Structure 1
Amino acid sequence: MIDANVKGLRAGEARFYSLVLSPSEDELAHIGSDPAKLKEYTRRVMDEYAQNFKLKGGQQLRSTDLVWGAIVHQQRTHRGTDPEVAAGQARAGERRAGRQSHVHIIVSARDAEQKISLNPGGRKQRFDLTKWQVAAGRQFEQQFGYVAQAHEKLRPKARARDTTYDAGRLAKIGERVVRINLLVPAEQRLNPEKVGQIARDRQFDQTFYRMLSRVEERAHDGRPIDNAYHLLATGREQPAPQHTATTVLHAVQQLVRSGGGRDEQTEQIAEKKGRRRAELDIEM
């Protein structure tokens, strides 16, 4: 079901995301570790998951718009990195004591109509992960009449971002843009101020820097990216139709100059050879 729901995804993109619902021992005791109750709770949590996505035009998703599946596990085993194993109190692979019921979920990266990409680990403006986690905890309380302890509640941290190094970051980004502009045709040169504004809007996150590196690598290879601003702002390529012919012509010119008669190995632009993207794992 998940494998068939991939229309519109490029090679190398995540096909699904892995979520884990882990009630505390007190929460499990409250519902008697009842698998039926955990299943119904999971369905409600996935309703919250769907509704948490903020889409263009105010479109609202429901759980029926998702492609997902789940399984209830009643036991856990110790890992080699657990404190109990390090202290010699348990061995790796041994069952953990106490109530250990939890739910593993996999949810497709595309909606059921395969028209929308749904990434819970992307931009906060599109999916607020903490908000969803808080809602999941609140759902358990309301659904089962449970009063959560302080340590069982996830509270969003209202902490202002440290902007101390922003000026230095912008200066370095500007230098990279200058280097990129020396390698691309005039019509595809980037405005350093616009790139810097995108960096600020994304709060200098890792996605921005990965996409900037991709733009730089493509420029070095003689394959500049159409609509690089879109890539930097969203993390996704969206070629501008008016630039496509220019890009093809430039690529042909590079091929001729490099001796296009030789056999060459084609690699995915989206990722470096030999690397695979890990699926997102979120534990609650």
Structure 2
Amino acid sequence: MYVKLVNPKIHGKTAYNNKGSCQQTLNYLIHEAKREAGEYDIFFDQTKDNLRLEIVRNAIDNNVKGLRSHQEKFFSLIIAPSETELRHIKNSDQLLRNYTRQVMELYASNFNLKEGRRLQSKNLLWFAAIHLEREYRGNDSEVLAGNARVGERRPGLQTHLHVIVSARDREQKITLNPGGRRGRFNLMNWQTACGRQFENQFNYSALETEKLRPRQRDSSRDAARAKRIGERVEALNLLLPKSSRLDGEQVKQIAVSRQYDKTFYRSLKHLEEVAREGLPLQNPYHLLRTGREKVAQQTSSRLQARHLLHAFRMALQPREDRSSHTEDIGERKGKRKGEIEIE
């Protein structure tokens, strides 16, 4: 079983852009479904089938209270059983709907909230659609070998599902980002649980090729990573007073202890942004180690005034004049090795 969280920056910036309305994502899903079945009532949710595009669009687009303009409004998921798994359930639409509903129960319960609270699928706002076909892409081995052409239909059973889920719960009180901190949502744990769910739900014994295998980190690039981190710390220190500058070696040690994970790079980027804005760094080593800011019990009135003044200046500054920074976190971009490319 292959379950995937779509990254719009890698897997289709236009079709999966989730910073605004979900209309273009739904247009893509409808277009693919129309080619296959000539139908528009293709969506289903936790309790209902045959939902129209307008219902889905209005529900997702109106469930954004509390989100800022730059934040994700929804997320796209793909559920792609193997051909062997599809044969096992006789490629049944109804069984795939039932399975998807269980996958979204697992998705909800995988979020770690305050005080140990757990969500259920009924707390989410999500919709799914079944697609029957897949096409060859330019980087597929069959195309590169000259045995297939881009756009040709792949042979065999290719049924898979697309899910669109709101970034806010139904009450619009909680932001739910599956691509955020691992402590908040462990993506691999959810993907593994989805595989076990299929086995248990349909009395199926998964093949080794159908099981999720942890991706091994490429340690051969650690020296280059350490060098780049040192350069970023030096640049960061130029923005700070001497008393607040970071120890480059200590930062590198933290990076090693976190195995150069995304949380470390996200935290380092946050420190860089704070320094560029002229604000003091608060417990930077704690942030780098844990991915969380350590809030001091008491903040001086001078520091509070400085933060308020900065916020006031930013509010008055025209949006087009504000500096924007890349989302690059210091790693190479591109598709993860071993990841199935599917839409």
What range is the shorter-chain TM-score in?
0.7 to 0.9
Secondary structure in structure 1 of the residue aligned to 2:61:
coil
Is this contact kept in 2: 1:24–1:152, CA < 8 A? yes
The number of residues matched between the two structures is: 266
Amino acid at match of 2:183: Q
Identical amino acids, percent of aligned pairs: 46
Residues 1:153 and 1:250: Cα distance change in structure 2 (over 3 Å): closer
- Shift in Å, 1:249: 4.1
1:246 aligns with 2:306: yes
- Shift in Å, 1:200: 5.8
Pick one of 253, 261, 268 that aligns with 1:212.
268
Separation in 2, partners of 1:54, 1:74: 34
Residues 1:160 and 1:126: Cα distance change in structure 2 (over 3 Å): same
Identify the residue that residue 114 of structure 1 maps to in structure 2: 172
Residues 176-216 of structure 1 show CA distances to partners (whole Å, capped at 9, x for unaligned) of: 557645535799x3665986786566443244334434533
- Shift in Å, 1:107: 1.6
Secondary structure in structure 1 of the residue aligned to 2:165:
strand
Identify the residue that residue 32 of structure 1 maps to in structure 2: 90
Separation in 1, partners of 2:313, 2:175: 35
Separation in 1, partners of 2:263, 2:245: 18
Is this contact kept in 2: 1:223–1:247, CA < 8 A? no
Identify the residue that residue 257 of structure 1 maps to in structure 2: none
Pick one of 307, 321, 333 that aligns with 1:266.
321
Residues 130-179 of structure 1 show CA distances to partners (whole Å, capped at 9, x for unaligned) of: 2211211111122122222222222446x79969959x94x975775576
Is this contact kept in 2: 1:226–1:247, CA < 8 A? no
1:59-138 → structure 2 map (5 Å cutoff) = 59-138=117-196
Identify the residue that residue 6 of structure 1 maps to in structure 2: 64
Secondary structure in structure 2 of the residue aligned to 1:154:
coil
Pick one of 136, 139, 143 that aligns with 2:201.
143
- In the superposition, the TM-score normalised over structure 1's length comes to 0.72
Separation in 1, partners of 2:152, 2:183: 42
Amino acid at match of 1:84: E
Pick one of 24, 44, 57 that aligns with 2:115.
57
Is this contact kept in 2: 1:66–1:110, CA < 8 A? yes
Identify the residue that residue 42 of structure 1 maps to in structure 2: 100
Residues 1:201 and 1:133: Cα distance change in structure 2 (over 3 Å): same
Amino acid at match of 1:2: I
Separation in 2, partners of 1:35, 1:71: 10
Pick one of 278, 301, 309 that aligns with 1:223.
278
- Shift in Å, 1:22: 0.7
The 10-residue stretch of structure 1 (224-233 or 125-134) with the greater mean CA deviation from structure 2: 224-233
Separation in 2, partners of 1:248, 1:178: 28
Residues 95-114 of structure 1 show CA distances to partners (whole Å, capped at 9, x for unaligned) of: 11111110011222222222
Residues 73-94 of structure 1 show CA distances to partners (whole Å, capped at 9, x for unaligned) of: 0111111222222223222112
Amino acid at match of 1:118: L
Structure 1 gaps, min length 5: 255-259, 273-279
- In the superposition, the TM-score normalised over structure 2's length comes to 0.61
Separation in 2, partners of 1:35, 1:141: 17
Separation in 2, partners of 1:88, 1:182: 53
Residues 1:22 and 1:269: Cα distance change in structure 2 (over 3 Å): same
Structure 2 gaps, min length 5: 1-58, 328-334
- Shift in Å, 1:126: 2.4
Secondary structure in structure 1 of the residue aligned to 2:306:
helix
Separation in 2, partners of 1:269, 1:227: 22
Residues 205-260 of structure 1 show CA distances to partners (whole Å, capped at 9, x for unaligned) of: 2443344345335534x432675748755489x99976442134468899xxxxx9
Is this contact kept in 2: 1:223–1:251, CA < 8 A? no
Separation in 2, partners of 1:267, 1:227: 23
Residues 1:37 and 1:268: Cα distance change in structure 2 (over 3 Å): farther
Secondary structure in structure 2 of the residue aligned to 1:2:
helix
Identify the residue that residue 275 of structure 1 maps to in structure 2: none
Secondary structure in structure 2 of the residue aligned to 1:114:
coil
